[in-house]
C-alpha cells in the first residue's frame, strides 16, 4: 500500500466535519505542525480533539481553536491558552478534563482493544462523583457536568472505571519514518504520539526524515508500520518553547 503522500493537504483531504481526532504533542513539543496547518486551511468544523493540551493561543491546536473549528476538547492540561479559557467559559467549547496518566492509559487501552479499566486515580474526588463542569452558557454559568463513575474495591482500595478512547484519525509527528511506516521518535517529542498511532482508524504521520525500508534499526523502532496509513515529509518546523526560563549561573566562566 502506498503510504508516502505528496503533501499535508492531500493527507488530510478526507477528514470530515465532526471527526474525532487524536493529536500528538505535549505543550508544543512533538506537535504535528504541518498537519494542523493543513486542517486550518481545510476549514472543517465541529471537531473533537483528544490531546494532552490545546497548544497556545497562537500555536499548535490553538490555531484551530482560534478559527472556531474545535467543538470539544478531551485533555489533561489547558493552562497555556487564554483563548481556550475564553471559549470554554463563554459556551463556545465543550471540555472533558482528566488526570494526565488516566488520559494516557485511556488512549493506550483503546489501541489495545480494551474497552475500559479500573484505576485508583480520582477515586473519592469529583472525577468519581461527577459534577465537574463540561460546558458553560454565554453568561459563564455551568450548564453541563461530568457523570459519576462506577467504582469497586480491590484489595481494600477503591478503584473507578474509566472507558478507553479511540478516534477516527490520529495526527502524529515522528523524527524518522521509513517507507513501510515504521516510526522512531526523538526524546520527549515521543510523548503521546506512539499510543495514538494504535488507537485511531486512520493514522497520518508527518516525519522530519523519511528513509527507505530496511534503513532503520529494527530494535530502535517505536511504532511498527502496521499502524501507519499515510506519511508526509514534515518541513518548516517552528519548535517553539511556551515558557523559557533561564538564570545566570554563579561564577560562570567567560571566554
- Identify the pLDDT of residue 253: 60
Q: Are residues 14 and 131 located together in one domain of the fold?
A: no
pLDDT tens digit sequence for 68-89: 999 999 999 887 788 999 999 9
- Identify the pLDDT of residue 1: 65
User: Which domain covers residue 157, as residue numbers?
Assistant: 116-163
Summarize the confidence of residues 1-30 as an average pLDDT.
Answer: 94
**CATH number for the domain harbouring residue 99:** 3.40.1080.10
Q: Decide if 248 is inside a domain.
A: no
Summarize the confidence of residues 123-147 as an average pLDDT.
Answer: 96
Q: d(Cα 233, Cα 176) in Å, to the nearest integer?
A: 10
Summarize the confidence of residues 53-62 as an average pLDDT.
Answer: 91
Summarize the confidence of residues 183-208 as an average pLDDT.
Answer: 97
Q: Are residues 17 and 100 located together in one domain of the fold?
A: yes
Q: Decide if 215 is inside a domain.
A: yes
Summarize the confidence of residues 18-33 as an average pLDDT.
Answer: 94
- Identify the pLDDT of residue 57: 85
Q: Are residues 171 and 126 located together in one domain of the fold?
A: no
Q: Decide if 240 is inside a domain.
A: no
Q: Are residues 132 and 201 located together in one domain of the fold?
A: no
> Hey, what's the cell of 79?
493552562
Q: Are residues 18 and 101 located together in one domain of the fold?
A: yes
Q: Decide if 182 is inside a domain.
A: yes
Q: Are residues 70 and 126 located together in one domain of the fold?
A: no
Tell whether the model's pLDDT for residue 43 goes beyond 70. yes
Query: Please, which pLDDT band fits residue 18 given cuts at 50, 70 and 90?
Result: very high
- Identify the pLDDT of residue 238: 80
Tell whether the model's pLDDT for residue 249 goes beyond 90. no
Q: Are residues 38 and 106 located together in one domain of the fold?
A: yes
Instruction: Please tell me the pTM assigned to this model.
Output: 0.92
Does residue 99 contact residue 127 with C-beta atoms inside 8 Å? yes
Q: Decide if 50 is inside a domain.
A: yes
Q: Decide if 13 is inside a domain.
A: yes
- Identify the pLDDT of residue 246: 77
Summarize the confidence of residues 168-193 as an average pLDDT.
Answer: 97
Q: Decide if 179 is inside a domain.
A: yes
- Mean confidence (pLDDT) of the chain: 94
Domain edge (last residue) among 129, 163, 197: 163
pLDDT tens digit sequence for 117-133: 999 999 999 999 999 99
DSSP the chain: ---B-S-HHHHTTT--TT-EEEE--BTTBT--HHHHHHHHHHT--SEEEE-S----SSSTTHHHHHTT-EEEEEES--TT-HHHHHHHHTTS-EEEE--HHHHHHHHHHHHTT--EEEESTTTTSHHHH---EEEE-TTS-EEEEPPP--EEEETTEEEEEEE---EEEEEEEEEEEETT--EE--GGGGTTHHHHHHSEEEEEEEEEEEE-TT-S-GGG-SB-GGG--EEEE--------S-----PPTT----
Q: Are residues 96 and 191 located together in one domain of the fold?
A: yes
- Identify the pLDDT of residue 180: 96
Domain count of the fold of the chain: 2
Q: Say what percent of the chain tops pLDDT 70.
A: 98
Q: Are residues 170 and 122 located together in one domain of the fold?
A: no
Q: Are residues 124 and 17 located together in one domain of the fold?
A: no
Tell whether the model's pLDDT for residue 214 goes beyond 70. yes
Amino acid at each position: 500500500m502506498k503510504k508516502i503522500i505528496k503533501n499535508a493537504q492531500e493527507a488530510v483531504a478526507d477528514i470530515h466535519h465532526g471527526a474525532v481526532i487524536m493529536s500528538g504533542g505535549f505543550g508544543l513539543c512533538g506537535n504535528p505542525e504541518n498537519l494542523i496547518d493543513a486542517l486550518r486551511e481545510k476549514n472543517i468544523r465541529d471537531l473533537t480533539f483528544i490531546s494532552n493540551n490545546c497548544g497556545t493561543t497562537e500555536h499548535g491546536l490553538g490555531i484551530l481553536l482560534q478559527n472556531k473549528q474545535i467543538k470539544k476538547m478531551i485533555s489533561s492540561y489547558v493552562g497555556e491558552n487564554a483563548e481556550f479559557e475564553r471559549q470554554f467559559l463563554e459556551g463556545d467549547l465543550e471540555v472533558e478534563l482528566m488526570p494526565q496518566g488516566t488520559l494516557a492509559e485511556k488512549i493506550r487501552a483503546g489501541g489495545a482493544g480494551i474497552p475500559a479499566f479500573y484505576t485508583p486515580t480520582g477515586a473519592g474526588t469529583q472525577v468519581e462523583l461527577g459534577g465537574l463542569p463540561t460546558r458553560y452558557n454565554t453568561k459563564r454559568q455551568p450548564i453541563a457536568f461530568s457523570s459519576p463513575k462506577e467504582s469497586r474495591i480491590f484489595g481494600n482500595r477503591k478503584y473507578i472505571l474509566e472507558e478507553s478512547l479511540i478516534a477516527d484519525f490520529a495526527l502524529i509527528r515522528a523524527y524518522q519514518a521509513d517507507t513501510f511506516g515504521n516510526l522512531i521518535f526523538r526524546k520527549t517529542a515521543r510523548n503521546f504520539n506512539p499510543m495514538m498511532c494504535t488507537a485511531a482508524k486512520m493514522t497520518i504521520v508527518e516525519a522530519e526524515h523519511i528513509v527507505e525500508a530496511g534503513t532503520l534499526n529494527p530494535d530502535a523502532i517505536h511504532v511498527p508500520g502496521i499502524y501507519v496509513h499515510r506519511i508526509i515529509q514534515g518541513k518548516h518546523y517552528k519548535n517553539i518553547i511556551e515558557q523559557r526560563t533561564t538564570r545566570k549561573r554563579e561564577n560562570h566562566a567567560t571566554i
